[in-house]
Structure 1
């Protein structure tokens, strides 16, 4: 599960950065940025929830 979430996180990050250069239409750019940002945040939250707590 973690490798999949890491892959989704990386793909969403690359997609969000590349959208700034590729998309010319303003409305489409905003919609795609919001979707890729939401996917990025969701996968980061999933990875955070699956982390193993450290023992002190």
Structure 2
């Protein structure tokens, strides 16, 4: 489970960088792409935090 969350975190980071620097998205498309990558990023980070060991 944790490796999949790490992979999602890396993909969301790469997607956010792509959307903010290279993509020619404008208006609503750019907002939706940014929000989508942000939701995946926050969700995977939260999942990693929740599944961490408490030792």
Q: TM-score, normalised by structure 1?
A: 0.89
Provide runs of 4+ in structure 1 moved above 6 Å: none
Question: Which of 1 and 2 has greater Rg?
Answer: 1
Cα-Cα RMSD: 0.9
**How far off its partner does 1:24 sit?**
2.8
- Determine the structure 2 residue equivalent to 1:2: 2
For this pair of structures, how many residues does the alignment match?
Answer: 54
> 1:6-31 deviations in whole A, cap 9, x for unaligned?
00000001101110121332210001
Give matches, 1:1-56, under 5 Å.
1-21=1-21, 22-54=23-55
Q: Secondary structure at the match of 1:51?
A: coil
Q: Which runs of 5+ in 1 are unaligned?
A: none
